[in-house]
């Protein structure tokens, strides 16, 4: 039995922010950002739009692509690290917004590896017969995380005022990570066919909590009492901290190794892999993964240049774009791989059906 991706969809926020736009609020340049990250621009939602709304837009687009009615969806697996609020998760709100009236929902939190884990859970649900149709969604609104205060109108080109010295100092202090991120959402509709041998062929997933401090938000949690207060905000504990060197080393080692393992597990050859849909964290990391797998950017494509890092949404957005560009042919062997905070990582191998998608 194989689980097929029968439809894909994305949600693209309306506001495009270039590197040059960021120079208005922090000490940086287009060259500085491009050379370190590969990002040229990123997209952001309007204030008041959360991850559940963006995810619902992508879900409905995927259902339309699959020609599947919302009432046919049995389960939704939703990955995000930027929920609308601390509690509850976004899956229920997404279900309501998209009219998925018959769906049980799962919220999962593996950050940048979230969609990879969502795909694996979707496969388990369909192949065990617990669900006939599953939506896997990755949705992120990073805008609320970004320490840009009242300068958003400047960033979006809606104000001619100059950033104050304090505003510029704050944004500059966190530029190493904040320039990476953008908003976005992607979704896939999955169904299993007991007569098929293609679709999802296998997966390998890993977690090592010893590396949780590579990237984390140290405040605003149950370790704090109260979990939110002015003192934590004053210490900027609500903002992510990142060990860039440690992340790079672990990501460029773990993702290629996971790809090799899942290919071997499925009884395939690495040379037969047509496309590796890798998490879009940083162009330098993608370059390291290409080098270790000895492939070029034709096999491991990148869209981080115009999306930035959309965390759990990078895999479905990139796969959707590859489909739209005709890069996923009948019989194509596709490996999905990601590394995320936690630390979580792995790979999943997928064979594009050689006959039309089931619907």
pLDDT tens per residue across span 53-74: 999 999 999 999 999 999 999 9
| 3-state SS assignment for residue 316 | helix
b or e along 182-219 (b: 16 or more beta carbons within 10 Å of the residue's beta carbon)?
bbbbbbbbbbbbeebebbbbbbbbbbeeebeebbeebb
Q: Identify the CATH number of the domain defined by range 199-351.
A: 3.40.47.10
Active site residues: 112, 279, 309
pLDDT over threshold 80, residue 310: yes
pLDDT over threshold 80, residue 358: no
Q: Which residue has the tokens 């034709």?
A: 298
Establish whether the linkage from the previous residue to 54 is cis, with ω within 30° of 0.
no
Binning the chain into helix, strand and coil, the percentages to the nearest 5 are 40, 25, 35
- Antiparallel, parallel or unpaired: β 75-79 and 184-193: unpaired
pLDDT band per the 50, 70, 90 thresholds, residue 267 = very high
- Antiparallel, parallel or unpaired: β 75-79 and 104-108: parallel
Average pLDDT over the chain, rounded to whole? Answer: 95
Q: How much of the chain exceeds pLDDT 90, in percent?
A: 92
Long-range (24+ apart) CB contacts under 8 A made by 268-273 are 268/201, 268/333, 268/349, 272/333, 273/299, 273/333, 273/334, 273/335, 273/349
Two tokens, residue 203: 């997966």
pLDDT band per the 50, 70, 90 thresholds, residue 194 = confident
Average pLDDT over residues 160-177: 95
d(CA 112, CA 345): 9
CATH 3.40.47.10 intervals, the chain: 2-193, 199-351
d(CA 167, CA 36): 23
CB 279 within 8 A of CB 112: yes
pLDDT of residue 140: 98
| Alpha-carbon distance values, 71 to 39, 58, 183 (Å) | 39, 16, 28
pLDDT of residue 328: 96
pLDDT of residue 356: 59
User: Which H or E element spans position 114?
Assistant: helix 114-127
pTM score of the predicted model: 0.96
Q: Identify the CATH number of the domain defined by range 2-193.
A: 3.40.47.10
Contacts of 39 (CB under 8 A, 6+ apart): 19, 33, 179, 180, 283, 304, 305, 308, 309
pLDDT of residue 289: 97
Instruction: Give residue-wise pLDDT tens across range 93-152.
Output: 999 999 999 999 999 999 999 999 999 999 999 999 999 999 999 999 999 989 998 999
pLDDT band per the 50, 70, 90 thresholds, residue 357 = low
CB 116 within 8 A of CB 336: yes
Long-range (24+ apart) CB contacts under 8 A made by 237-244 are 239/145, 239/147, 239/174, 240/145, 240/177, 240/215, 240/216, 241/213, 241/215, 241/216, 241/217, 242/176, 242/177, 242/214, 242/215, 243/213, 243/214, 243/215, 244/176, 244/177
pLDDT of residue 29: 98
The total of other beta-carbon atoms located within 10 Å of residue 145's CB is 18
- Antiparallel, parallel or unpaired: β 184-193 and 199-207: unpaired
CB 338 within 8 A of CB 254: no
b or e along 318-330 (b: 16 or more beta carbons within 10 Å of the residue's beta carbon)?
bbbbbbeeebbee
């Amino acid at each position: 039995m194989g689980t097929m991706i029968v439809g894909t969809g994305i949600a693209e926020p309306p506001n495009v922010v270039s590197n040059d736009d960021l120079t208005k609020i922090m000490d940086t340049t287009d060259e500085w950002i491009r050379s370190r990250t590969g990002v040229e621009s990123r997209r952001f939602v309007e204030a008041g739009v959360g991850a559940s709304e963006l995810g619902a837009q992508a879900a409905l687009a995927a259902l339309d692509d699959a020609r599947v009615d919302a009432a046919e969806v049995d389960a939704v697996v939703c990955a995000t690290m930027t929920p609308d609020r601390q509690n509850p998760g976004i899956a229920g709100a997404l279900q309501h917004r998209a009219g998925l009236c018959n769906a049980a929902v799962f919220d999962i939190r593996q950050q940048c590896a979230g969609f990879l884990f969502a795909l694996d859970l979707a496969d388990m649900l369909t192949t065990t017969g617990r669900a006939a149709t599953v939506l896997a969604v990755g949705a992120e609104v990073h805008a609320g995380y970004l320490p840009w205060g009242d300068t958003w109108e400047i960033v979006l080109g809606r104000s001619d005022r100059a950033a104050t010295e304090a505003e510029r100092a704050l944004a500059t202090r966190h530029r190493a990570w904040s320039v990476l991120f953008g908003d976005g959402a992607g979704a896939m509709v999955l169904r299993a066919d007991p007569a098929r041998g293609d679709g999802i062929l296998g997966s390998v997933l890993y977690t090592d909590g010893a590396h949780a401090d590579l990237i984390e938000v140290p405040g605003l949690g149950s370790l704090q009492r109260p979990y939110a207060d002015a003192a934590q905000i004053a210490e900027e504990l609500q903002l992510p901290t990142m060990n860039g060197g440690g992340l790079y080393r672990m990501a460029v080692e773990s993702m290629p190794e996971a790809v090799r393992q899942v290919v071997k597990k499925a009884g395939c050859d690495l040379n037969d892999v047509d496309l590796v849909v890798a998490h879009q964290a940083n162009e330098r990391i993608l370059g390291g993964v290409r080098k270790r797998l000895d492939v070029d950017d034709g096999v491991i494509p990148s869209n981080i240049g115009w999306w930035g890092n959309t965390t759990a949404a990078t895999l479905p957005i990139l796969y959707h774009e590859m489909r739209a560009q005709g890069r996923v042919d009948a019989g194509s062997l596709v490996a999905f791989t990601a590394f995320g905070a936690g630390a979580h990582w792995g790979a999943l191998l997928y064979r594009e059906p050689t006959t039309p998608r089931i619907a």
